[in-house]
Amino acid sequence: MTQKFIPYGRQSIDQDDIEAIVKVLKSDYLTTGPAVNEFEGLLADKTNSNYAIVCNSGTAALHMAAHAIGLSENDAAIVPSVTFLASANAMTFTGAKVIFADCDPATGLMTKDHLENAILRAKKAGLCPKVVVPVHLAGQLCDMEAISKVARREGMFVIEDACHAIGTTYGPNLEHVAGDCKWSDLTAFSFHPVKTIAMGEGGAVTTNSSDFAKKLELFRNHGITRKPEEFISEDTGKDRSGEWGSWYYEMSEPGYNYRASDIQCALGSSQLKKLDMFAAKRRELREKYYSLENSLPEGIRLANRVPNCSPCPHLMIALFDNDFLGKGRNHVMEKLKNDGIGTQVHYIPVHLQPYYRTQTVGVDFSGTLSFYNSCLSLPIYTSMSPRDIEVVVSSLKSL
């Protein structure tokens, strides 16, 4: 009996999303129009932050955030090894050196102890640790209070990589939401289709600082300002009347074109309006997985849950003992695929990538390696049904 294929993740697009895009296509603005402001207003609202600056990817969001804090050549950026390449690469774009932190083997999250260890290594290498980039793997938040305490003591900035965590709530009474920057300076999001909210390609940074918000906007748009109060060159910009020219703009530093179009933002807004529904469905699926954890075969368990956090899960990570029950990961992935189930590995430790590898010889990454050698992401996405989870679990049982 062949069933529909259950991928490890996928976007959820409805008729209202399609209509929102068509409406933009029929309007006067395909980019830098009203859909951009609408999306930013909605996102600031959903993340309970003062400012949300949209851009065209999560990678761009991280780069913009790194630029806003003034990260540069002689600085070190501390990034956990269990993450997507972009968390490290975006810091590297500024000329800063990445110092990788080890992670907890049961959650894949960086802890304050891993941070402390990385800070020591950075200093030993003669670098100034200027920023830490905690990654909220699978949608579970790192212990931000503890991490930010260490960072503040060291005079470091904190940029949260919340690309997995839109919609996650946290705090003793779950009174906070990812992106509110309670324990950080800036938070980066991705709206790639495999993440909870899809824009095609897209990302955003949230912050509570007007100064950071200004820098993010400038960097996103070629470094251009059109605000007369920020102009410097009277000889080029002033009209014979003594007024600044209506055509005039100035550039104080080169910026990348990281803008998101109105087409992308219209899709983003339409999706964000459904975030609460998406999050409720994903939480329900996650609960279903955990309710069946005890019925999994010996040697397979789910990643540990962290306290004071209600994730809107992007991934459902399982951990396998003994090199995948003695069968190897390829075999297990192949077997699940034959049963119509997609899986993926999140992530290959970034410190082992050839580009970064030479920097980390001799450093203890035992937590990261243990996590990498046992992790497999099982399907979870908004349109998945609890029945699908039973299919996944029964396939795991037949291993």
Q: Point out which residues bind ligand PLP (CB under 6 A).
A: 57-59, 83-84, 86-87, 135, 161, 163-164, 190, 192, 203
Is there a contact between 187 and 214 (Cβ–Cβ < 8 Å)? no
Q: Write down the least CB distance from residue 136 to ligand PLP, Å.
A: 8
Nearest to 260 by CA among 60, 86, 48, 13: 60
CB nearer ligand PLP, residue 207 or residue 395: 207
CB nearer ligand PLP, residue 225 or residue 382: 382
Which token pair is 155? 């005079």
Give SS3 for 55.
strand
Q: Write down the least CB distance from residue 83 to ligand PLP, Å.
A: 5
Peptide bond into 347 cis (omega under 30): yes
Is there a contact between 164 and 137 (Cβ–Cβ < 8 Å)? yes
Distance separating alpha carbons of residues 259 and 207, to the nearest angstrom: 18
Q: Is the dihedral of CA 299, 305, 306, 307 positive or negative?
A: negative
Which token pair is 309? 């956090």
- Which residues are registered as beta bridge partners of 204? 54, 189
**DSSP code, position 301:** E
CB nearer ligand PLP, residue 190 or residue 368: 190
Q: Write down the least CB distance from residue 263 to ligand PLP, Å.
A: 16
CB nearer ligand PLP, residue 121 or residue 314: 314
Q: Write down the least CB distance from residue 187 to ligand PLP, Å.
A: 12
Distance separating alpha carbons of residues 352 and 100, to the nearest angstrom: 10
Q: Write down the least CB distance from residue 392 to ligand PLP, Å.
A: 22
Distance separating alpha carbons of residues 284 and 294, to the nearest angstrom: 17
Q: Write down the least CB distance from residue 371 to ligand PLP, Å.
A: 14
353-388 in b/e form (b: 16+ CB < 10 A) is eeebeeebeebebebbbbbbbbbbbbbbbbebeeeb
Q: Write down the least CB distance from residue 1 to ligand PLP, Å.
A: 35
Which token pair is 330? 């390829």
CB nearer ligand PLP, residue 220 or residue 288: 220
How many CA atoms are closer than 13 Å to the CA of 221, on its beta-carbon side?
17
Strands (E), the chain: 51-55, 75-80, 97-101, 128-132, 157-161, 169-170, 176-177, 186-190, 203-207, 224-225, 250-251, 300-302, 309-310, 316-320, 375-378
- Cβ neighbours of residue 175 under 8 Å, at least 6 residues apart? 169
Q: Write down the least CB distance from residue 380 to ligand PLP, Å.
A: 14
Q: Write down the least CB distance from residue 201 to ligand PLP, Å.
A: 6
CB nearer ligand PLP, residue 192 or residue 282: 192
Q: Write down the least CB distance from residue 227 to ligand PLP, Å.
A: 29
Q: Write down the least CB distance from residue 162 to ligand PLP, Å.
A: 8
Nearest to 351 by CA among 338, 341, 365: 365
Q: Are strands 75-80 and 97-101 parallel, antiparallel or unpaired?
A: parallel
